[in-house]
Structure 1
Amino acid sequence: MTVEYSGASTEGPLIPLHCLRQAEPGPPRLTALPTGTPVWLVTRHTDVRQVLTDPRLDRATLYAPDAPPISTTPNILDDPDGLLNIDGPEHQRLRRTVQRAFTPRAIARWRPWVASVIERLIDDLEAAGSPVDVVAGLTRSLPVAVISRLMDLGDLALERLGRWSDHALSATAYPADEVRQAMGEFYAFSEALIAERRKNPGDDLVSSLLQAADETDGVTEKQLTALVCGLVVAGHETTMTSFGNALVQLLSEAPQAWARIGADPQSATAATEQILRAVPLGDSKVFPGLLRRAVAELEIGGVTIPAGSVVAADTGAANHDPEVYPAGSRLDHFAPLGAPSLTFGAGPHHCLGAWLARMELELGLHRLANRLPGLRLTDPVEAIHWREGLLTRSPASLSVAW
């Protein structure tokens, strides 16, 4: 059976993501999406991994003519031309145009530069004086600086990028017409950027994508446009969200862990993996899981799933499955994982930017804790102002002092 999720109520303040009660892992059960569409909710680690890797479950058919509605407002996840919604050989062909830039070896080459960006941002925090908003000064600024550099986005204003990303990941935050307008602007920007890089290629991710696409048959302009938009959003959203939520948890509940993260880089690496496992990126009532649709009848966890069914892989519940993670909901920052978490998915659609997000979070936590070991929240967690109505949730601002 499952328990109700907490933290998504409209009554009273929202609670931090690390305090949410996750669904109790069990066999797949039939529930419903906010649209009313029936959905099989899958919560056990083994079952969730099957959903994400079994070819009998795909993304593309979620947008077939006979598919039931899965979202109440448009967002970037619903673009049929997006990498996320293409399966099989076509997906692998498109994925190869970008994956070379996101291998662990490639990410390692960026590490010194990312570290220098973090040091500069912490310098600015210290210069601003205590107290200061660490979201504006670091957790949002870091990933935006990194993806802007990798894609050579130049002077693209932070507010503009943030507005597009928020609308691209909107669940209930904005009216549908407003989302469509913002997404139209975003896609127009992507088209113009692609055209400019074709004329003046450089040593950046967009130019590399175009070169790889030219060497690969069948990659369409719509797919390239969606890919560039997806990279802009994914390149900063996960890091911003996980970094902000990590600081809420560490500074409110784990001062000893904070000190150890600052003193030892290896401890920061271990804590990063545990935080990514244990602290979800959003509320499951807003984002119930990674959706797939059954193209054939199959069995998951002893339950027969009919062909055509929509399935939701609840990675948050899977990441707390006591059969895999004995600590359950308790967060031991420095314990070995035992099994990879499913935060970044699994199988063909495993997040390409996972290693980059890990590196930014690990370096950011270590250097901030090292430089400011006495960092503390200035307000109680109940007073945190959250980014709400999106597929992810993190602090909109977070006042800290030292």
Structure 2
Amino acid sequence: MTLSLDRNTDAVDYPFNRPDDLELAREYGEIRASSGLARVRLPFGEIGWLATRYDDVRTVLADPRFSRAVAADHDEPRMREGRQNSGILSMDPPDHTRLRTLVARAFTPRRIENLRPAAAAICADLVADMRAQEGPVDLVDRFALPLPVRVICELLGVPQRDQPLFRRWSDAALSTTSLSAAEFYASREEFRDYMRGLLAAKRAEPADDLICALIDARDGDAGTGTDRLSELELIDLCNGILVAGHETTASQIPNFILFLLAHEGRWHELHDHPELVAGAVEELMRLVPLGIGAGQARYALDDVELSGVRIRAGEPVLVSIASANRDPEAFDDPERYDPTRPRAGRGNAGHIGFGHGAHHCLGAALARVELQEALRALTGAFPDLTVEAVDWKSQMVVRGPRGLTVSF
């Protein structure tokens, strides 16, 4: 039976989550337990649907009847005035496939796994630096931020001297209300200008890094016209990898620490049983909501039914991955943290913390390497880690500490 929810009913204000904790707002569970969908109003753009159930979220993320690209033709629901309407995350196949294939040819599992020793060595260096400090230290400044920045810049081939620039550009790319549209676009163009210069330098002096691999794949592409990657697409692709490749991991490292320390015995468990680290990362990806709210909207190209509710063609749908990852129809005892949880089978669906479908996170393997090595190094070195103070980010798409003062 198809439900008929009143589209004229006042939408609820969104997002629900607070920026200064890691809880999943109760509204998600309430919506999930009722119709599964709700009409929501974001700070900017038109009213949209919010999907909260696991099966519905996977459908919206993977079904070709839902489009990211057509959002450019609408006043899409969003959290900031400026719009991110370029880059791989704003595309549908075949344009998306073109870029995705290019990155996949350079961003290989072997290349990522070969970074594990370097990531472990960076972790060891950062731990030694923390030990050398007198008194409490800021774990974000001393560990969580430099680790992914150094790894992603090493992978891409970004000069070490330029690495401090990315904090400012990344903050601008992920800000919500802290920047006007003009400031947002100005920062984006500044970032593009930097990458344009770096690409020129790489073409003049090639090296064995991801940017050069992307240049080789793009410049050597036999395709022409619309089949060939434009220079701006290459620039935005490299910038997107830089932002996504460090900001999310830099946020999740302290988030994971706070979650584990808040659950008695879980930090010491990883110290005593480091073999549980890989499973812990998967479970933490499922349970710790990184975003302040849902991600980018998809637009229905045809009438589509979700949980018995008819979504009309042309209507936007946002998805809550965090809510889907706690759906009791997909996970047994979904609120419980269990690093030994099976990853398949009835009642143990695979988490979608890295997304699903065509836009599944390209950097998932890299994030796993970094998060695993970070937890292994920190729990091994600091079994009695204690949080002294937390300075939460604000006006950002992602949640997490901007500063995390710890003692050990």
- The two structures share one fold, judged by TM-score above 0.5: yes
Question: In the alignment, is the contact (CA less than 8 A) between 1:130 and 1:401 conserved in 2?
Answer: yes
For 1:13-32, list aligned pairs within 5 A. 15-18=20-23, 20-21=25-26, 23-24=28-29, 25=32, 26-32=35-41
For 1:173-184, list aligned pairs within 5 A. 173-184=178-189
Who is 1:260 aligned against?
A: 269
For 1:338-349, list aligned pairs within 5 A. 338-349=348-359
Who is 2:393 aligned against?
A: 387
Who is 2:333 aligned against?
A: 327
Who is 2:151 aligned against?
A: 146
Who is 1:193 aligned against?
A: 198
Q: Distance in 2 between matches of 1:306 and 1:104?
A: 40
Q: Distance in 2 between matches of 1:110 and 1:36?
A: 41
SS of residue in 1 equivalent to 2:49: strand
Q: Return closer, same or farther for 1:35/1:4 CA change in 2, 3 Å cut-off.
A: closer
Q: Distance in 1 between matches of 2:274 and 2:394?
A: 33
TM-superposition CA deviations, 1:52-84 (whole Å, max 9, x none): 0000101100002xx124336356x7132x011
Q: Distance in 1 between matches of 2:188 and 2:336?
A: 39
Question: In the alignment, is the contact (CA less than 8 A) between 1:17 and 1:245 conserved in 2?
Answer: yes
Q: Distance in 2 between matches of 1:21 and 1:28?
A: 14
Q: Distance in 2 between matches of 1:326 and 1:68?
A: 39
1:299 aligns with 2:305: yes
Supply the AA of the counterpart residue of 1:400: V
For 1:1-400, list aligned pairs within 5 A. 7-8=17-18, 15-18=20-23, 20-21=25-26, 23-24=28-29, 25=32, 26-64=35-73, 67-71=74-78, 73=80, 78-80=84-86, 82-216=87-221, 217=223, 218-251=228-261, 253-284=262-293, 288-337=294-343, 338-379=348-389, 384-400=390-406
Question: In the alignment, is the contact (CA less than 8 A) between 1:270 and 1:336 conserved in 2?
Answer: no
TM-superposition CA deviations, 1:199-244 (whole Å, max 9, x none): 1111011000011112332211111011011011011011111111
Supply the AA of the counterpart residue of 1:282: G
Alpha-carbon offset, residue 149 of structure 1: 0.7
SS of residue in 2 equivalent to 1:304: strand
Q: Distance in 2 between matches of 1:177 and 1:336?
A: 47
Alpha-carbon offset, residue 129 of structure 1: 3.1
Percent of pairs with identical residues: 36
Q: Distance in 2 between matches of 1:131 and 1:350?
A: 38
Structure 2, gaps ≥5 residues long:
6-11
Q: Distance in 2 between matches of 1:245 and 1:60?
A: 32
Alpha-carbon offset, residue 36 of structure 1: 4.9
Q: Distance in 2 between matches of 1:7 and 1:74?
A: 20
The TM-score, its normalising length taken from structure 2, stands at: 0.89
Question: In the alignment, is the contact (CA less than 8 A) between 2:41 and 2:77 conserved in 1?
Answer: no
SS of residue in 2 equivalent to 1:147: helix
SS of residue in 1 equivalent to 2:335: coil
Q: How many residues were matched structurally?
A: 385
Q: Return closer, same or farther for 1:74/1:97 CA change in 2, 3 Å cut-off.
A: farther
Worse-superposed segment, 50-59 or 333-342: 333-342
Q: Distance in 2 between matches of 1:254 and 1:129?
A: 28
Question: In the alignment, is the contact (CA less than 8 A) between 1:22 and 1:320 conserved in 2?
Answer: no
Structure 1, gaps ≥5 residues long:
9-13
Q: Distance in 1 between matches of 2:178 and 2:13?
A: 26
Q: Distance in 2 between matches of 1:146 and 1:279?
A: 23
SS of residue in 2 equivalent to 1:299: strand
SS of residue in 2 equivalent to 1:293: strand
The TM-score, its normalising length taken from structure 1, stands at: 0.90
Q: Distance in 2 between matches of 1:3 and 1:358?
A: 34
Alpha-carbon offset, residue 265 of structure 1: 3.1
Alpha-carbon offset, residue 358 of structure 1: 1.2
Supply the AA of the counterpart residue of 1:263: D
* Cα RMSD for the two superposed structures: 2.1
